[in-house]
A and B are shown apart, each in its own frame.
Chain A
């Protein structure tokens, strides 16, 4: 019984972080229909930025979230305006898959050259404290990570639903042509959306950095995770990402606990394929309605 509760708790905590890591991917997928295979790189780049700022400047990773978000936002904006836009307009949406994959290889190689392929961790002073609720144990960093994730996800939801920029994004996702007619600069909104997605990926990376070890090669896992979260929860909405992320977290911890730690990815993949076959739009459906 205790193991069950502990496993559930761990799953929820990890799931919250998965949610944050996936929400940017989900937004880009929902608005533009682009599967951004560079996503994992954004996440890992966020973690490396946090590492550098922690090592060189002594900035706490949680405070680094904002500047890292800004840097990645700028990168995402330019990236969409140039490479992604060219690829989609010159050939097809599937070509964007290949282009983002190519860019992911380039950046992964760059990260390997700069930081070496070794596995790194960020260890702020609070990383070895653990809290206990009765018999249940939990690391403080994970709680902090979860809290930060929830705060950022809420901010993201507010941005989408309450601001005029969010309204422009939702309108563009539903009807690009109609929103253009209504005076929205669609190309600008696309680029801003991409920047926002990248910013949230980077922010999640800083939190992942304090919770888990990372290396340039772990980017693939984060891209796949994001994809699974989106397929489980539904495209485009923070609520879908949260639901999908928590489900994925639970699947991972329960598989590791009761079936074997080697089987987590296999189980995740099994759920992914089943989900795609049974309910391809995800549990909460597509937040932007029929986009494509």
Chain B
């Protein structure tokens, strides 16, 4: 993309995003709001899982931690700031607590690789859920009420539409910034071959921890906002294994490690599940599973990955160089 196109494009997107809820029905505003949430989660997961290749199967832990941190903060300490902005501090607290927890568990857990890391994160998700449920002080079993004072005259779905829209923008910009920084290059090198990267001077340990903490803090903020948007939640509302899975699936469908992949994946999946199949709630798990299996078997590189492969092949054919179609693995 030409870089001079970027600024006007962003301005158009922001304006369209601002006026969109006025033209949509409340239901569709809610769907778009959920799309922002899901896409932001996937983008945040992709910072760790897509760039560095460390697939976390338990990122829902950070949604939960963010939600609980924000709820307890606003309940026990209070809300700060004027009405529409009183939600800001708890969301930041949610991200902060999530980041701290991530920083604590990062060192031991990131020594594990591949399958071991994935399963260990699955365990992390389970353990935090159990702690939130069983330790009385957290009130995860009975549930927590969290309500943000709404600005007058704005319906809640529109308010949270803007909240999640802004969070998606923050997450996406962070992801772009990480990708094009030294950190991002290091993470890609780690994904390709961690030992070689380390040998060539990439501080693998530090970079992985940085990616993990960034990803966790973004997910924590989203979890905090999610808690406010639902108003009342229990452990099983926020520690959900399908959240963990969805983050992976969206990234995978769109293209792992790409910038737009997770957003595209979330848009497609949500269109299928929320719009096309909205009345088939009890088979959602089944459909998600089916899509996962199909994607892995048919286009393991995701939509963007497959497209860029095809374009590369065309380009090299144009230049008269034959390129092997399948890559040797």
Chain A residues packing against B (C-beta within 8 Å): 35, 83, 86-87, 90-95, 97-99, 101-110, 112-113, 220-221, 224, 227, 260, 262-263, 265-266, 269, 272-273, 276-277, 280
CB of A225, distance to nearest CB on chain B (Å): 11
In addition to A35-B115, A97-B118, A109-B286, 14 A-B residue pairs with Cβ atoms within 8 Å of each other are A93-B115, A94-B115, A98-B248, A98-B292, A105-B242, A105-B286, A105-B289, A109-B282, A262-B131, A263-B134, A266-B131, A273-B108, A276-B112, A277-B111
Chain B residues packing against A (C-beta within 8 Å): 55, 57, 108-109, 111-112, 114-116, 118-120, 122-124, 126-127, 130-131, 133-135, 241-242, 245, 248, 252, 282-286, 288-293, 296-297, 300, 329
With a CB–CB cut-off of 8 A, which chain A residues contact B135? 262
CB of B285, distance to nearest CB on chain A (Å): 4
CB <8 Å contact, A103 and B112: no
> Nearest CB to that of B290 among chain A residues?
A106
CB <8 Å contact, A113 and B283: yes
24 examples of A-B residue contacts, CB within 8 angstroms: A35-B118, A83-B297, A90-B297, A90-B300, A92-B329, A93-B114, A94-B114, A94-B115, A95-B300, A97-B115, A102-B289, A105-B292, A106-B289, A109-B282, A109-B284, A109-B289, A112-B285, A113-B283, A263-B134, A265-B130, A273-B120, A276-B116, A276-B120, A277-B108
CB <8 Å contact, B131 and A101: no
CB <8 Å contact, B124 and A98: no
Chain B CB count within 10 A is highest, among A92, A98, A109, A110, for A98
CB <8 Å contact, B119 and A227: yes
A109 and B297 in contact, given A224-B126, A276-B120 (Cβ under 8 angstroms): no
CB <8 Å contact, A102 and B120: no
CB <8 Å contact, A224 and B122: yes
Q: CA separation between A87 and B298, bound complex, in Å? A: 9
Q: CA separation between A103 and B288, bound complex, in Å? A: 10
CB of B288, distance to nearest CB on chain A (Å): 6
CB of B254, distance to nearest CB on chain A (Å): 15
CB of A127, distance to nearest CB on chain B (Å): 27
CB of A85, distance to nearest CB on chain B (Å): 10
**Which one, A87, A93, A262, contacts B130 given CB within 8 A?**
A262
CB of B144, distance to nearest CB on chain A (Å): 18
Majority-rule SS of B interface residues = helix
> Nearest CB to that of B133 among chain A residues?
A262
> Nearest CB to that of B122 among chain A residues?
A224
> Nearest CB to that of B53 among chain A residues?
A94
A265 and B127 in contact, given A94-B114, A273-B109 (Cβ under 8 angstroms): yes
A99 and B283 in contact, given A262-B131, A265-B130, A269-B124 (Cβ under 8 angstroms): no
**Which one, A102, A113, A221, A272, contacts B293 given CB within 8 A?**
A102
> Nearest CB to that of A267 among chain B residues?
B127
With a CB–CB cut-off of 8 A, which chain B residues contact A106? 285-286, 289-290, 293
CB <8 Å contact, A86 and B297: yes
CB of B113, distance to nearest CB on chain A (Å): 10
With a CB–CB cut-off of 8 A, which chain A residues contact B134? 260, 262-263
> Nearest CB to that of A261 among chain B residues?
B134
A102 and B290 in contact, given A112-B282, A280-B116 (Cβ under 8 angstroms): yes
With a CB–CB cut-off of 8 A, which chain A residues contact B283? 109, 113
CB of A262, distance to nearest CB on chain B (Å): 3
CB of A34, distance to nearest CB on chain B (Å): 9
CB of A29, distance to nearest CB on chain B (Å): 9
**Which one, A35, A103, A280, contacts B289 given CB within 8 A?**
A103
With a CB–CB cut-off of 8 A, which chain A residues contact B284? 109
With a CB–CB cut-off of 8 A, which chain B residues contact A101? 57, 245, 289, 292
**Which one, A91, A262, A269, contacts B123 given CB within 8 A?**
A269
**Which one, B127, B252, B296, contacts A266 given CB within 8 A?**
B127
Counting from the closest, the 3 A-B pairs by CB-CB distance are A262-B134, A102-B292, A105-B289
> Nearest CB to that of A217 among chain B residues?
B241
Q: CA separation between A219 and B203, bound complex, in Å? A: 39
CB <8 Å contact, B115 and A99: no
CB <8 Å contact, B245 and A108: no
Q: CA separation between A95 and B291, bound complex, in Å? A: 14
With a CB–CB cut-off of 8 A, which chain B residues contact A227? 119
With a CB–CB cut-off of 8 A, which chain A residues contact B133? 262
A98 and B120 in contact, given A109-B285, A262-B134 (Cβ under 8 angstroms): no
With a CB–CB cut-off of 8 A, which chain A residues contact B245? 101, 105
With a CB–CB cut-off of 8 A, which chain B residues contact A276? 111-112, 116, 120
**Which one, B248, B285, B300, contacts A108 given CB within 8 A?**
B285
CB <8 Å contact, B252 and A98: yes
CB <8 Å contact, A99 and B126: no
CB of B111, distance to nearest CB on chain A (Å): 6
With a CB–CB cut-off of 8 A, which chain A residues contact B292? 98-99, 101-102, 105
